[in-house]
Chain A
Amino acid sequence: MSATTSPVLEVENLAIALPGGGDRLRAVDGVSFTVAPGEIVCVVGESGSGKSVTAFSVMGLLARVLKPVAGAIRLLGEDVLSASPQRLRALRGDRMAMIFQEPMTALNPVLTVGDQIEEVLRIHTEFGAKERRAKVLAMLEAMHLPDPERMHASYPHQLSGGQRQRVMIAAALILDPALLIADEPTTALDVTTQAQILKLIREMQARRGTGVLFITHDFGVVAEIADRVVVMQRGRIVEQGPAAQVLGNPQHSYTKMLIAAVPTMTPATRPAPKGALALETAGLGKSYRSGGLFARTRTVQAAADVALRIRRGETVGIVGESGSGKSTVARCIARLIAPSEGQIMVGDQDIARLPERRLRPLRRTIQVVFQDPFRSLNPRRTVGASIVEGPVNFGTSPAAATARARELMSLVGLDPAALARYPHQFSGGQRQRIALARALAMEPEILIADEAVSALDVSVQRQVLALLDDVQRRFDLAILFITHDLRVAAQICDRLIVMQRGRIVEEGPTAEVFARPKAAYTRALIEAAPGREFGRGVEPTAEAVPA
């Protein structure tokens, strides 16, 4: 980046007002940064830091209640804040383009993929139908998508998440915009897919000299892709600079805290658990059959031949990508779904095929904390009612259950008085604590955490992981920890099970699996983890440092 190149994007002193009643007056305030041609600038911060609001204000796509009140945003020297709606529309898709977090929902489900990419050409160019089609096919090819002709006629639901994100990138880059805004574009993807998409973005922007404004919460991704880093906290920039400098030698305490909170890929040393065997499965499998009288029957083996053992006081992790069957196994063990084959031994009882009536007394033994704290608590009931319901079903008096709920609230670090409040009055991290309290109220022996920290910010994630460790020791819990995140698994699991396409491909003590992975798939997973050197105390490689 020579100093003489004028930036594609200049954000200067940007302030955006929040509607009344928020936790602060301005969503962002005093935000200034630039993006040069061919440069990738990562804006990093936790939820509520204002990073997405900043990105959307550049595109002019802010929700109506959010109003820019000061500052300027210049795209190639032109102020977009004062541009007319017509002018903004002309710039969007042509000079600046955006890709989003959820490739599953960002494409229109009822229009073909080709049609949706072509739409950009129809809006901004005078190309004829033939020319448009040729351009789209070439673009699909450049995205390394298989069989562009067929892809062109496909609907989004026929594509995988990674393919959909490639389609989004194709639509964003087809007119060679000067600026690409990427809002958490890989957060919803598996690690191996994430690695491919990051590589694709790098390849495309390097070839076309596109400036990229990359929004992320993930320091691994930052280490992987950023030329420069902008760190935001509560609407303000607390630190910015070249990636190597910010990551290697952070100045601001918030940056330091964020970086320290990123779990490292080096497994923590944990004492070998010696508790009694709490759970054992053998030959556990689940298959789904579809079709019927007139249709061809199709069997999908979601999980097969799964054998695992968990002791009291031990945390066993199952890692794998979406579709690996890890959640299916968890749901079978909790008997939320009925396994098709195999045994699930809890103590000396096989619960795999117990009818619901005989299963119910055992249900309190196994409790689950789910991934999405925004959906796993009933929004119309107070959290107290949610916590007390289980024990009362098992015969505890409401008064005793409430007293216990108050103790548990303090244990998970929340005010017992908050029992009377509703879920929407809590943050994601707090809700996950409540979900944990709800599970503990049942006095379980086995706790299943199904991606329980995946939706949380790193700093909150670290706290919830510490809390899990604490309650495990306190109640001598056997924990089955389902996650796609190798960093988290490295920190909390005593033993690891790696699953791929419904089967276990590797298992062993966590340190062993990380140090000497035996299965090719495990190696691929570790390889794909973004910025895997980062957080091991190793600074990002020299190539990431801009000249």
Chain B
Amino acid sequence: MLGYVLRRLLAAIPVLAIVAVLVFLMLRLTPGDPAAVIAGDNASSEQIAQVRHQLGLDQPLPAQFAIWIGNLARGDLGESFFFKKSIGELILGRIEPTLSLAAATMLIAICVAIPLGVVAAYRHGSWLDRIVMGVSVLGFSVPVFVIGYLMIYVFSITLGWFPVQGYQPLSGGFGGYLHRLVLPSLTLSVVYIALIARMTRASVLEVLTEDYIRTARAKGQVERKILFRHALKNAAVPIVTIVGIGIALLIGGVVVTESVFAIPGLGRLTVDAVLARDYPTIQALILLFSGVYVLINLLIDLTYGLFDPRIRQ
């Protein structure tokens, strides 16, 4: 088991290396000069050249790449051009809102979607099933920002239950933290509820036709336990896959939600870094995101074994 995890982590290194090269090149090849952005609109060409020299951007590309990779290997993500801070610190300061939002979103999605999917599968063909499936189509057809503004309009502006936007760190008290997290998480979770509910329904529906479900009935087992004890665990692998993909997509999706709800997380940091042509920060963020993707994939594969003993060996 440990060997497997180690092997998978080793296998991630070439993936991350390729990502690093691509990100580095892509940024250098897109138009826009960070030195000009930093020096400001009124800077002379000498000033811009000086800034460029300070940032090391006047060196040849391979040399720039070597320096960056060398620093990375030592755990140094470099210094932000724009924020004038170590990128490590910058990310650490922004990671709590993003993680909170992602965790809360997935928690809501899983808690709502799985029971819905199971019940829809059990009562497949009924009006309940049709409503769940119909609403789920709506769920992933409507864009996140539309749902977001709708929720703000209904729950914040009209009903006044939740603040319109903003984020309060956990250190500022759990109540306030949660209060401000509810709307953005709900908004984000809509798509995942739809996706996970549909996958759960399809997967459970298939499992319900298996012989061992009939065996459980022949033992006199009640339907609730047949569904949640026998069927769901067998249906878990595709559900876990979709949840994993969901988490990965979610991290990409925070860029929009954090903008809509004005949450100072990694998504906002990414947007700001891109607008400022802040090369080192963008590079570090993208590398971080791809690392997270690789990690999530590994976690998904390990979770399979948790549910299915046949995969464990």
Q: Enumerate chain A interface residues (CB-CB to B < 8 A).
A: 59, 61, 88-94, 97-98, 100, 102, 105-111, 119-120, 123-124, 155, 157, 168, 171, 294
Contacts and interface: CB of A to CB of B under 8 A. Distances in A.
Contacts of B212: 105-109
Given A100-B214, A105-B212, A294-B3, A110 B219 contact: no
Given A93-B221, A108-B234, A123-B220, 13 more contacts: A61-B214, A89-B222, A91-B220, A97-B218, A102-B211, A106-B211, A109-B308, A109-B309, A109-B310, A119-B219, A120-B219, A171-B219, A294-B7
A107 B230 CA distance: 10
B8 to A, nearest CB: 11
Interface in B1-60: 3, 7
A97 to B, nearest CB: 7
Interface residues of B, number: 22
Interface in B215-236: 215-222, 229-230, 233-234
For B211, B214, B215, B222, the residue with the greatest tally of chain A CB atoms inside 10 Å of its CB is B215
A92 B218 contact: yes
Contacts of B211: 100, 102, 105-106
A184 to B, nearest CB: 12
A108 B216 contact: yes
Question: Would you call the interface of chain B mostly helix, strand, loop, or mixed?
Answer: helix
Interface of B: 3, 7, 210-212, 214-222, 229-230, 233-234, 307-310
Contacts of A124: 220
Contacts of A93: 218-221
Contacts of B3: 294
A61 B233 CA distance: 23
* Residue of B214, B219, B307 ringed by the most chain A CB atoms within 10 A: B219
Given A89-B220, A93-B219, A157 B234 contact: no
Contacts of B214: 61, 100, 106
Contacts of A120: 219-220
A90 B221 CA distance: 9
A65 to B, nearest CB: 12
A90 B220 contact: yes
Given A100-B211, A155-B309, A155-B310, A109 B219 contact: no
Contact of A61 (B218, B222, B307, B309): B218
A63 to B, nearest CB: 10
User: Which of B218, B222, B307 has the largest number of chain A CB atoms within 10 A?
Assistant: B218
B309 A157 contact: yes
Give 5 nearest A-B pairs by CB, closest first.
A93-B220, A92-B220, A93-B219, A105-B211, A108-B212
A92 B234 contact: no
Contacts of B216: 108, 119
A123 B221 contact: yes
